[in-house]
């Protein structure tokens, strides 16, 4: 009953947020923001004002990592608690807090492919969390407004998608606050959750994020990284790998939920999502966004407004979905850290390929 109640509150808050977003300005002047896809300078008046509000005393004194994404330090630095390298998650969220639930998340948007995904989610009455890139928000503010209006939950994926452990504390603030400002301008909502690009997070990054009021959400291990962004990925590959992961989940631990890594990056990844989601529904797995997974009645750092509308429900299976492929091959079983780091390295190639294809990342 407690879960049901808090879930209802969460739905109410998201619908209130939708109404507030509909009344927010929604237009953004790109000339008032940093250059797209670049680490924002820290000497601008805006960043200087944000930095004045933050006390960095007590921040872990860790060296900046090097690389995009970085090489793992050798030997590992225990006090770093570096998720992608040693699997140490600190107090990051790594699992959906509801039993038998798929925490549906999409990273790297909004993009020109996002509206197709939103159409699909609307048709199927599903709600997800979108981890947004600030540069893309400025380019597509109307898509962000639509996400909120249709009951989805917004979160941050930084301004320029650089590995945060390579950035200074001040640069991390700039990455987070410019993204926050863009979403505020588009929707009136102040973001609360974030996902670090490449999953690249350590105790120094966590310290800065906490100062800004952000809660990091990673994902639930290699088996729930769909690798949908990889240029070599096909529908049959992504479906067969994920089928194995879901079958293992159903067989062993419906008692906890999971967060899956997917992207609304381009037509391919959005197409894959429409193949993967029915696999979960066919196994009677509930689909929810991060706010619903965490039973968070305040999924933003500010209040969302006051008028509820009926959207954004936790979606329970209807039994109408069908599987599209038989399982084949075997999923990776490497430790989470190593494989995630490898995935991050490969992500650079994926981003480059997408950029060549003319997409804004």
Q: Which residues are catalytic?
A: 107, 263
Q: What is the smallest separation between the CB atom of 75 and Zn ion, expressed in angstroms?
A: 28
Residue nearest to Zn ion (CB): 107
Nearest CB to Zn ion, comparing residues 108 and 180 = 108
- Helix, strand, or coil (residue 94): coil
Q: Is 223 exposed, middle or buried (0-12, 13-18, 19+ CB in 10 A)?
A: buried
The span from the CA of 132 to the CA of 150, in Å, is 16
The span from the CA of 160 to the CA of 37, in Å, is 4
**Do 51 and 42 touch, CB atoms closer than 8 A?**
yes
CB atoms < 10 A from the CB of 263, how many?
Answer: 27
Q: Which residues bind Zn ion (CB under 5 A)?
A: 107-108, 197
Q: What is the smallest separation between the CB atom of 351 and Zn ion, expressed in angstroms?
A: 8
Helix (H), strand (E) at residue 14: helix 2-23
**Do 24 and 315 touch, CB atoms closer than 8 A?**
no
Residues contacting 289, CB < 8 A, separation 6+: 14, 103, 104, 105, 127, 128, 129, 152, 153, 312
**Do 202 and 81 touch, CB atoms closer than 8 A?**
yes
Q: What is the smallest separation between the CB atom of 25 and Zn ion, expressed in angstroms?
A: 27
Nearest CB to Zn ion, comparing residues 197 and 280 = 197
Nearest CB to Zn ion, comparing residues 199 and 305 = 199
Nearest CB to Zn ion, comparing residues 106 and 249 = 106
Q: What is the smallest separation between the CB atom of 44 and Zn ion, expressed in angstroms?
A: 24
Nearest CB to Zn ion, comparing residues 107 and 175 = 107
**Do 30 and 178 touch, CB atoms closer than 8 A?**
no
3-state secondary structure 200-268: CCCHHHHHHHHHCCCEEECCCCHHHECCCCCCCCCHHHHHHHHHHHHHHHHHHCCCCCEECEEECCCHH
Nearest CB to Zn ion, comparing residues 109 and 331 = 109
Q: What is the smallest separation between the CB atom of 261 and Zn ion, expressed in angstroms?
A: 9
Q: What is the smallest separation between the CB atom of 269 and Zn ion, expressed in angstroms?
A: 11
């Amino acid at each position: 009953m407690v879960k049901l109640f808090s879930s209802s509150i969460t739905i109410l808050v998201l619908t209130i947020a939708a109404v507030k977003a509909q009344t927010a300005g929604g237009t953004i002047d790109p000339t008032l923001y940093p250059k797209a896809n670049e680490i924002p300078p820290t000497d601008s008046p805006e960043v200087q004002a944000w930095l004045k509000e933050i006390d960095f005393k007590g921040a872990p004194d860790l060296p900046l990592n090097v690389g995009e994404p970085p090489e793992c330090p050798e030997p590992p630095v225990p006090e770093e608690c570096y998720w992608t390298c040693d699997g140490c998650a600190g107090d990051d969220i790594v699992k959906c807090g509801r039993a038998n639930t798929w925490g549906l998340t999409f990273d790297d948007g909004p993009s020109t492919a996002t509206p197709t995904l939103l159409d699909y989610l609307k048709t199927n009455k599903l709600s997800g969390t979108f981890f947004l890139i600030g540069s893309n928000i400025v380019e597509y503010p109307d898509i962000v407004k639509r996400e909120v209006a249709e009951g989805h939950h917004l979160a941050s994926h930084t301004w320029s998608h650089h590995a945060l452990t390579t950035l200074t504390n001040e640069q991390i603030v700039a990455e987070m606050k410019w993204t926050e400002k863009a979403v505020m301008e588009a929707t009136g909502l102040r973001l609360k959750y974030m996902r670090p690009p490449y999953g690249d997070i350590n105790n120094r990054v966590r310290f800065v994020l906490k100062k800004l009021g952000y809660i990091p959400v990673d994902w639930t291990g290699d088996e729930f990284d769909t690798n949908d962004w990889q240029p070599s990925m096909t529908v049959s590959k992504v479906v067969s790998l994920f089928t194995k992961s879901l079958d293992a989940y159903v067989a062993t631990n419906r008692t906890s939920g999971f967060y899956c890594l997917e992207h609304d990056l381009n037509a391919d990844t959005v197409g894959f999502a429409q193949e993967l989601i029915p696999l979960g529904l066919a196994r009677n797995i509930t689909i929810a966004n991060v706010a619903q997974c965490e039973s968070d009645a305040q999924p933003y750092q500010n209040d969302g407004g006051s008028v509820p509308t009926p959207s954004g429900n936790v979606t329970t299976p209807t039994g109408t979905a069908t599987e599209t492929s038989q399982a084949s091959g075997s999923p990776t079983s490497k430790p989470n850290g190593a494989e995630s780091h490898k995935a991050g390295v490969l992500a650079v190639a994926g981003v480059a390929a997408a950029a060549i294809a003319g997409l804004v990342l």
